[in-house]
Amino acid sequence: MPVAPTSSASSSSSSSSSSSSSSSGFPLTARAVVLAIDNIDTDQIIPARFLKTTDKVGLGRYCFADWRADASGAPRPEFPLNKPGAAGAEILVAGHNFGCGSSREHAPWALLGAGFRAVISPRFADIFRNNALTNGLLPVAVDDAVHHRLLALLAASPDATVTIDAERQTATLPDGTVATFPIDRFAKHCLLNGVDPLGFILREDAAIADYERTHPARVTTAPFRA
């Protein structure tokens, strides 16, 4: 699975107390950063001007670039990711409909590059959720009551940790409350076992060839080759 490595060891070592994690990195026990804003779009997660890369790695420094710094490049100290406690946090707690907007896979690459391993939100945009799972960034969709409780707990104890268990599909809040969350079964299988979805499709090669024989193309792009 093409997992984008986190940008630096220092961003993930300090808070992670997860025991004997599998290759997926879950279960994960880590501190969380709160961005309780609804409809955080992919242009905020990574602005389009940073998409002129041909790489997957090194995008962590652009994560939330225009919220982290002002037009002159000076950091905005009030932005949650700039606060001292944010260093080493591996979980992002966001508002509704996280990841709406474009299909850019650069969004999960940037979040992973910034050291995040999971995002907790009441709801994720479809393309983002899929892109995140493909890269091993776990979208944890919890109901509104759990979300409110988590926000309240983290407001009271910003350094508290949350445990996310992908196998059991549970999030354990700082007060011990255990909430369950859904994961697509196939995506979970890929995540926990390091299965490459492309390999899965490639195993269907005979069926694909058969489909192509029985469904001849009506359209070809070839005649317009420049």
Partner 1 sequence: MAVGIEASGAPRTLVDKVWDAHVVRPGTADVPAVLYVDLHLVHEVTSPQAFAGLRARGRRVRRPDRTVATMDHSTPTTSTQWRARAGAPPIIDDAGVAQLARLEQNCAEFGVPLYELGNDKQGIVHVIGPELGLTQPGMTIVCGDSHTSTHGAFGALAFGIGTSEVEHVLATQCVLQHKPRTMEVRVDGRLQPGVSAKDIILAILATYGVDGGTGHVFEYRGAAIRALSMEERMTVCNMSIEGGARAGLIAPDDTTFEYVAGRPAAPAGPAWDDAVAGWRSLPSDDGARYDRAIALDATRLAPMITYGTNPGMGMPVDAHVPDPATLAEPAHRQALDKALRYMDLRPGEQLLGKRIDVVFLGSCTNSRISDLRLAAGVLRGRAVAPGLRMLVVPGSQQVKRQAEAEGLDAVFRAAGAEWREAGCSMCIAMNGDQLAPGQYAVSTSNRNFEGRQGPGGRTFLASPLTAAASAVTGVITDPRTLQ
DSSP output for 39-63: T-BHHHHS-GGG---S-SSS-GGGT
Closer residue to partner 1 (CB): 180 or 211: 211
Name residue, tokens 């409909």.
97
Q: Shortest Cβ distance from residue 205 to partner 1 (Å)? A: 8
Name residue, tokens 């999971």.
118
Closer residue to partner 1 (CB): 23 or 211: 211
Strands 138-141 and 91-94 turn out to be unpaired
Closer residue to partner 1 (CB): 16 or 44: 44
Closer residue to partner 1 (CB): 176 or 217: 217
Q: Shortest Cβ distance from residue 200 to partner 1 (Å)? A: 7
Q: Shortest Cβ distance from residue 149 to partner 1 (Å)? A: 15
Report whether 88 contacts 32 (CB < 8 A): no
Rg (CA), the chain: 19
Q: Shortest Cβ distance from residue 49 to partner 1 (Å)? A: 6
Q: How far apart are CA 11 and CA 107, in angstroms?
A: 18
Closer residue to partner 1 (CB): 82 or 188: 188
Closer residue to partner 1 (CB): 30 or 112: 112
Q: Number of C-alpha atoms within 13 angstroms, CB side, residue 31?
A: 19
Q: Which residues bind partner 1 (CB under 8 A)?
A: 2, 36-39, 41, 43-44, 47-49, 51-56, 66, 71, 95-97, 100-105, 123, 125-127, 130-131, 134-135, 184-186, 189, 197-198, 200-202, 204-205, 207-208, 211-212, 214-215, 217-226
Q: Where are the beta strands (DSSP E) in 101-221?
A: 118-121, 138-141, 161-165, 170-172, 178-180
Q: How far apart are CA 32 and CA 86, in angstroms?
A: 7
Q: Shortest Cβ distance from residue 58 to partner 1 (Å)? A: 12
**Helix or strand or coil: residue 163?**
strand
Q: Shortest Cβ distance from residue 12 to partner 1 (Å)? A: 22
